[in-house]
Chains A and B, each alone.
Chain A
Amino acid sequence: MLDIRDLHVKVGDKEVLHDINLHIGEGETHVLLGPNGSGKTTLLMTIMGYSNYTITEGKITFKGEDVTNMKAHERAERGIGMLFQRPPTISGLKLGKLLTAISRTKTEDIPELAKSLHMDKFLERDINKGFSGGEIKRSEVLQLMIQNPDFIMLDEPESGVDIENISLIGTAIGSLLEKDKHIVKRQKSGLVITHTGYILDYLETDRGHVMCDGQIRCHGNPREILKDIKKHGYKECLECRNP
């Protein structure tokens, strides 16, 4: 599904991602772990195609197609989607109007999907204006449901969300990633950033990666890595920086 080779990324004049290699197969969901500021969000924004993340070297291939130089909307059209940790507030733009724009012609599902995420009363509200943490994430998941991407990046989907909402959001994301389908029938893939790991109760993940200082340092069983980090923090990872 997604293949990243020898990727180097600059923000402004500074290189922030160094030599990233990552392969996510069809139906797989991977977890990206790492301390604050290690470059996890930068990697997701780069994959999404945000213009202030400049790829200086390397290649991103999606479903066999080179998307390295594509704009965000071209990547979205090809099936890349993202749940943003802190999406912008857009004054005057109603959530319902954006959902209609995303869905293009197929608008009939919007009311029902909005209801399933308890967002039906938010369709006439400005996007993210005055939304609580949980409402922001529910709005993000709702947009992704309409967009229906094949590869979904989730930037801390549980941050700022209470337990009740985590269950709602987690179940919805699980369904987006076809976790309710048999493993061999799953076609959707994902990449999740999490600090707490709560979201992993709803998403079985296949592989974990740890980022430190703009590099992917190690790979392994996601629960095992998370358990280790919870026990020792990122101390070992940071030590690993200068072996």
Chain B
Amino acid sequence: MPQPVKEHEISKADRERMAQTGIDFEMKNRCGSYLQMDQDVVHSECAEAGIEVLPYKKAMEKYDWLKEYAWNVVSPEKDEVTKYVAAQKEPKGYVIIAHKGTNNIYPIQACLFLGRELIQHVHNIIIAEEGAELHIISGCSSGEHVGKGGMHYGVSEFYVKKNAKISFTMIHNWSENIEVYPRSASIVEENGVFLSNYVCMQPVKKIQMYPTATLKGANSVARFSSVVIATPGSYMDLGSRAILVGPGSSAELITRAITKGGTIMSRGHIAGKTAGTRGHLECKGLILKDGIIYAVPEIEGSVVGTELSHEAAVGKLAQEEIEYLMARGLDEDEATATIIRGFLDVKISGLPEALQKQIDASIDEAEKTGF
């Protein structure tokens, strides 16, 4: 049995904020856990045989070969964020390795919590070896006392080996004064599957990310989904990219974006580089209060035999739908919230039920306050 996460130093309010991102302190439905508060690794363990959850430094000491996986898919020279993380003498973050053929039924949780420091930096490496299946839920939140503001710099490198699968579900619960700069990339080998889900229903000052999946192996698959709400003052620059290299590889990029006054840049890019590849990009946006949803879908085919498509729509709630529900007895607010909840309902094929439930719960929580 995995040990409960030590929580003596975490205030009740902070625990609740972490729980909203899917962190389960009781570890009832989790097989492993990594908790980093600011730069302190509070907890790192995994009860599943063949799956390791290690602090970055310890992992590097344990496995010499890991060096080849660090700064491999993300370049340290990419931008100011990666340069800052690469320059750290005491690198933080986690390494998760699912060894050959292992499978975790219950996900591993990774919690990155920003409490007091100005910048939290992490460098994560996630590897699913041949035939392994690895599910991770990453909850990122900040403490109630981060009055002065803070920044989170996170570099994540994912390796999905032959016939392996990684699902990475990230739920954010920051606050109005936090800036977040994840930099992540993945390589997916033959028949590998990479699922990346992002949910952010709460205010954040700024988030900027553009995770990239290179589908190197034949018949590899990547699915990105993002479900976000931008409140006034939030600036969300979100994108995802899939590069289809392996024959038969495919990608799906799905976004549901709602602005209540904030700004959302919804980017997406699929490049079809080999015949027999397929990609679809879908962005649907709802403007509930004046704000910006700027959808930039890009599809780039460079060979005969790649099939790429995109659809993007930005609009308002349909009055006809609201009144239909009102005719069934729901008042206007209930009808509106019910339709928004439906709009945000993205079911991710291949995602374990427990994680889908966690995503649903996070959105349901926002529904309680009428979004």
Chain A residues packing against B (C-beta within 8 Å)? 48-52, 71-73, 75-77, 81-82, 84, 87-88, 90-94, 97-98, 101-102, 126, 143, 147
Contact = CB atoms under 8 A, between A and B. Distances in A.
Contacts, number: 73
Given A73-B335, A87-B324, A98-B338, A147 B329 contact: yes
A91 B331 contact: no
Interface string B331-348: 110110011011111100
Q: Which 10 A-B pairs have the closest CB atoms?
A: A92-B342, A93-B342, A92-B345, A72-B326, A76-B329, A73-B326, A72-B327, A73-B331, A102-B328, A88-B321
B318 A88 contact: yes
Contact of B320 (A82, A88, A91): A88
Contact of B327 (A49, A93, A101, A126): A49
Contacts of B329: 73, 76-77, 102, 147
Contact of B343 (A71, A76, A91, A97): A91
Given A51-B319, A90-B339, A92-B342, 13 more contacts: A48-B327, A50-B323, A51-B323, A73-B329, A73-B331, A82-B327, A88-B318, A91-B345, A92-B344, A93-B341, A93-B342, A98-B328, A102-B329
Given A76-B329, A101-B334, A91 B342 contact: yes
Nearest to A149: B329
Contact of A101 (B330, B344, B345, B346): B330
A50 B318 CA distance: 13
A71 B334 CA distance: 14
B164 to A, nearest CB: 30
21 contacts: A48-B327, A49-B327, A50-B323, A50-B327, A51-B323, A52-B319, A73-B335, A76-B327, A76-B329, A84-B324, A88-B320, A88-B324, A90-B339, A91-B342, A92-B344, A93-B338, A93-B341, A93-B342, A98-B328, A102-B329, A126-B342
Contacts of A88: 318, 320-321, 324
Interface of B: 318-321, 323-332, 334-335, 338-339, 341-346
B345 A73 contact: no
A70 to B, nearest CB: 11
Contacts of B326: 49, 71-73, 76
A92 B323 contact: no
Contacts of A93: 338-339, 341-342, 345
Nearest to A71: B326
A73 B330 contact: yes
Contacts of A94: 342
A147 B328 CA distance: 7
B342 A76 contact: no
Contacts of B320: 88
Nearest to A84: B324
B340 to A, nearest CB: 9
Contacts of A98: 325, 328, 338
A101 B338 CA distance: 9
* Most B CB within 10 A of own CB, among A49, A72, A82: A72
Contacts of A50: 323, 327
Contacts of A71: 326, 331-332
Contacts of A51: 319, 323
A93 B321 CA distance: 11
A85 to B, nearest CB: 12
Contacts of B330: 73, 101-102
B319 A92 contact: no
Contacts of B343: 91-92
* Most B CB within 10 A of own CB, among A49, A73, A81, A87: A73
A92 B331 CA distance: 19
A57 B318 CA distance: 28
Contacts of B339: 90, 93
Nearest to B340: A92
Contacts of A101: 325, 328, 330, 334, 338
A168 B129 CA distance: 55
Contacts of A126: 342
Contacts of B321: 88, 90
B125 to A, nearest CB: 35
Contacts of B331: 71, 73
Contacts of A48: 327
A228 B327 CA distance: 34
Contacts of B341: 92-93
Contacts of B323: 50-51, 72
A156 B325 CA distance: 20
